[in-house]
C-alpha cells in the first residue's frame, strides 16, 4: 500500500509500509527526537519490530522524512509510537497522515481503541484523539528503571 500527498511547495510525499531495511533511515528520523528527550531511544531490533505495523514517509528524492508505528497490545488497545517528522517537513500534513495510517491499521486488525502519548495534545486532537473520559482520567507513569539516552 502506497499513498501520496502534495505538500504546500508542490513536493509530493509518498507514504508506504516500512520494512526492516528502513531501520537506518528510521533511526535518522528519530535521532533528533531522542537527543531532545522527546522519544525513547530504540535499538535496531526494536525499530525492525516496529516496521511490522509502521509507516514511512519519503520525499520525491527517496529521503525518509517521517515515521510512525502502531503497536498492538491486545484486541482492546494499541498505541501510536515513534511519531517523528523531520523539522523541515513539519506543518505539511505528514504527521497527520502517518497517524491516520496507524489508526487505519489498528482498525483493520480489529482493535477497539488507539492511544497516543505526546507532549503535543493539540496535534493529537486534530488527528481525532481525545481523552477516554474527558476531565476525569489521565495516564500517569511510575518509572522503575532510569531511562537510557543511548
- What pLDDT is stored for residue 150 in this prediction? 46
pLDDT at 120 over 90: no
How many Å apart are CA 131 and CA 51, to the nearest integer?
A: 27
Q: How confident is the model at residue 118 (pLDDT cuts 50, 70, 90)?
A: confident
> pTM of the predicted model, to two decimals?
0.84
Find where cell 504527521 sits. 95
Per-domain residue ranges of the chain: 2-126
How many Å apart are CA 52 and CA 74, to the nearest integer?
A: 15
**Residues 7-47 pLDDT 10s:** 556 689 999 999 999 999 999 999 999 999 899 899 999 99
CATH superfamily ID and name for 2-126: Gcn5-related N-acetyltransferase (GNAT) (3.40.630.30)
Amino acid at each position: 500500500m502506497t499513498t501520496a500527498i502534495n505538500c504546500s511547495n508542490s513536493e509530493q510525499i509518498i507514504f508506504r509500509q516500512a520494512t526492516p531495511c528502513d531501520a537506518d533511515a528510521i533511526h535518522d528520523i528519530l535521532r533528533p527526537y531522542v537527543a531532545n528527550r522527546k522519544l525513547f531511544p530504540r535499538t535496531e531490533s526494536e525499530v525492525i519490530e516496529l516496521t511490522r505495523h509502521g509507516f514511512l514517509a519519503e520525499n520525491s528524492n527517496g529521503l525518509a522524512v517521517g515515521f510512525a508505528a502502531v503497536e498492538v497490545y491486545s484486541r482492546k488497545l494499541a498505541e501510536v509510537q515513534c511519531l517523528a517528522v523531520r523539522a523541515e517537513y513539519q506543518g505539511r500534513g505528514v504527521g497527520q497522515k502517518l497517524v491516520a495510517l496507524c489508526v487505519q491499521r489498528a482498525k483493520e486488525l480489529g482493535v477497539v481503541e488507539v492511544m497516543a502519548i505526546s507532549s503535543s495534545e493539540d496535534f493529537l486532537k486534530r488527528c481525532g484523539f481525545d481523552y477516554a473520559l474527558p476531565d476525569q482520567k489521565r495516564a500517569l507513569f511510575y518509572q522503575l528503571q532510569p531511562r537510557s539516552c543511548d
